[in-house]
């Protein structure tokens, strides 16, 4: 789930994850340095606290995008969304999609000084599947269901056998951190990985400090010596710090970007591969009726929301972004053109002329709060009373995401590298299907797509899945928000990805 770049959420989480880099020295922050001055220490501001430092336990995309600097996986992502080897030097998938062989790099050293071998990789996946002495319950329901066996073949080869054919399996490993053998119990207190930065300290509710890993296996990276991720739960405080010259890099809203000193900052825009949506709990009384869900889709003017909050953002009609063009069902565009009369008619047919419900929104994400306020006014026009309840991010994760204790919420589903990881969220068997959507036809399409290696056939199946979600109005899909990143002109090299990742490796 997420949230990264300017507009991220869960999943999570989280839309509008502020990527803020602040000068470490208060004195230096008050002085305008020359564009040629390079910084050896920066602070990255984020809008919410970490839900865990253990790479196998955190769920928030806002945590993931930070901790991917501490942990590396067998594979990673390129800026254009391709799967590329990372800790694995190469990998081979069997023709029947049931086994994957990974050849490991032999120059990887963990932050504790130990050299990475196949035993560490096996331990990491066994722990995630609940098969180690220190972890007897699965930490990842998805991997536990997918993986049958992990075998260490020699010191630098690992063979993973799957329970069923899965064409999407390797892509799911891009955010799975590999840790030293038997280190699981201490990871939450002192995380140890093989990424470009090492853990220094963590003060809950305040900051996380990292330092450059001198043994990082990619020569010449990273460039910045010390990084502090500072937590700004108040977006106004973060914006004030930016305006005061204390911040060097920060994901901002459109309005915030207009207030910046263009002599000190550049604005970097990028697509996010993130679905902003008003998620509807399909198990909640009125929302069990497809006519009510469709009525809300007709009542909400997405164009007006986009024009006000994020001009240029692609409008969505399903849980998929056009940046993933090969799998994107373009025929669904504008499926629910704003039609208040149609919305009233459907509500009347469903006996919900006086519909009232509450939308729970994470307070840390002003973009979602602003979206909720616009939707509230639009729904009033068709006689719907939508109340807004703002809650803190940790409460959102616990109550909404984990326990589905909500009627509606506005959030951002962060980008993934395979359509199964995006659309599979709606499968009735998915453990964290907090939308509580269930459709046997959808489930079959998703299952069939996972079991074919024919990319053209997979694309067709996922397009069918998108169409089913749209017809069923599983939720209200709004946009893929454009990310606005304010970058101090003294910094360069910032890269963006179709997944939640504040990549510190290239910044200098």
Residues 6+ apart with CB under 8 A from 471: none
CATH dotted code for 275-479? 3.10.105.10
Map residue 106 onto helix, strand or coil. coil
Burial 82-120, CB ≥16 within 10 A → b, else e: ebebbbbbebebeeebbbbbbbbbeebebbeeeebbbeb
In this structure, the strands spanning 75-77 and 83-85 are antiparallel
**CATH 3.10.105.10 domain residues, the chain:** 275-479
> What's residue 486's pLDDT?
83
Instruction: Read off the tokens for 137.
Output: 């319950």
Q: What is the mean pLDDT of each run of 10 residues along the chain (508 residues)?
A: 38 34 33 59 86 94 93 93 93 96 98 98 98 97 95 97 95 95 97 98 96 96 94 87 82 83 86 93 98 98 96 95 92 97 98 97 93 98 98 94 97 89 94 96 96 90 98 98 86 88 91
Rg of the chain over Cα atoms, rounded to whole angstroms, equals 22
Predicted TM-score (pTM) of the model is 0.77
Other Cβ atoms less than 10 A from the Cβ of 288: the count is: 14
Residues 6+ apart with CB under 8 A from 293: 280, 282, 287, 472, 473, 474, 475, 476
**CATH 3.40.190.10 domain residues, the chain:** 20-70+195-272+483-488
- Name which CATH class applies to 20-70+195-272+483-488: alpha beta
Alpha carbons 77 and 504: distance in angstroms, whole number: 14
In this structure, the strands spanning 483-488 and 265-270 are antiparallel
Beta bridge partners of 412: 276
Torsion, Cα of 94, 97, 98, 102 (10° steps): 50
Q: What is the length of the chain?
A: 508
> What's residue 20's pLDDT?
32
CA 506 to chain centre: 20
Other Cβ atoms less than 10 A from the Cβ of 421: the count is: 17
Instruction: Check if the beta carbon of residue 375 is closer than 8 Å to that of residue 300.
Output: yes
CA-closest candidate to residue 470, choices 359, 315, 353, 326? 315
Instruction: Check if the beta carbon of residue 433 is closer than 8 Å to that of residue 426.
Output: yes
Q: Which fold has domain 75-186?
A: Dipeptide-binding Protein; domain 1 (3.90.76)
> What's residue 236's pLDDT?
87
């Amino acid at each position: 789930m997420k949230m990264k770049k300017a507009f991220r959420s869960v999943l999570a989480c989280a839309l509008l994850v502020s990527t803020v880099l602040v000068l470490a020295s208060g004195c230096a922050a008050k002085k305008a340095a020359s564009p040629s001055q390079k910084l050896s220490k920066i602070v990255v501001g984020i809008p919410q606290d970490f839900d865990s430092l253990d790479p196998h336990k955190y769920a928030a995309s806002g945590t993931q995008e930070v901790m991917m600097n501490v942990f590396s996986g067998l594979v990673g992502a390129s800026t254009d969304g391709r799967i590329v080897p990372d800790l694995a030097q190469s990998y081979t998938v069997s023709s029947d999609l049931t086994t994957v062989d990974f050849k490991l790099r032999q120059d990887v050293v963990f932050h504790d000084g130990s050299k990475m071998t196949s035993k560490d990789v096996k331990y990491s996946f066994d722990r995630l599947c609940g098969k180690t002495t220190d972890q007897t319950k699965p930490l990842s329901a998805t991997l536990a269901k997918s993986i049958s066996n992990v075998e260490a073949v020699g010191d630098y080869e690992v063979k993973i056998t799957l329970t069923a054919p899965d064409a999407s399996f390797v892509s799911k490993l891009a955010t799975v951190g590999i840790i030293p053998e038997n280190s699981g119990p201490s990871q939450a207190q002192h995380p140890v990985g093989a990424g470009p930065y090492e853990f220094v300290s963590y003060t809950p509710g305040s900051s996380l400090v990292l330092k450059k890993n001198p043994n990082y296996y990619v020569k010449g990276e990273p460039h910045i010596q010390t990084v502090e991720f500072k937590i700004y739960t108040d977006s106004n405080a973060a914006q004030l710090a930016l305006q005061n010259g204390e911040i060097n890099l920060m994901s901002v809203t459109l309005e915030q970007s207009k207030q910046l000193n263009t002599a000190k900052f550049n604005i970097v825009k990028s697509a996010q591969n993130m679905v902003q949506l008003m998620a509807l709990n399909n198990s909640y009384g009125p929302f069990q009726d497809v006519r009510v869900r469709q009525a809300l889709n007709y009542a909400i003017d997405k164009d007006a929301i986009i024009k006000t909050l994020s001009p240029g953002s692609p409008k969505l009609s399903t849980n998929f972004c056009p940046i993933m063009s090969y799998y994107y069902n373009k025929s669904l565009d504008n499926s629910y053109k704003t039609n208040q009369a149609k919305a009233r008619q459907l509500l009347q047919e469903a006996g919900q002329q006086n519909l009232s419900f509450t939308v729970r929104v994470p307070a840390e994400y002003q973009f979602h709060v602003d979206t909720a306020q616009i939707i509230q006014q639009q729904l009033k026009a068709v006689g719907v009373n939508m109340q807004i309840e703002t809650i803190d991010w940790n409460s959102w994760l616990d109550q909404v995401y984990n326990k589905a204790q909500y009627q509606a919420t506005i959030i951002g589903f962060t980008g993934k590298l395979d359509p199964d990881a995006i659309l599979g969220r709606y499968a009735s068997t998915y453990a964290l299907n907090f939308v509580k959507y269930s459709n046997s036809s959808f489930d079959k399409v998703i299952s069939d797509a996972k079991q074919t290696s024919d990319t053209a056939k997979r694309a067709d199946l996922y397009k069918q899945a998108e169409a089913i979600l749209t017809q069923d109005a599983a939720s209200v899909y709004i946009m893929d928000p454009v990310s606005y990143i304010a970058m101090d002109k003294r910094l360069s090299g910032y890269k963006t990805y179709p997944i939640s990742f504040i990549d510190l490796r290239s910044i200098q």
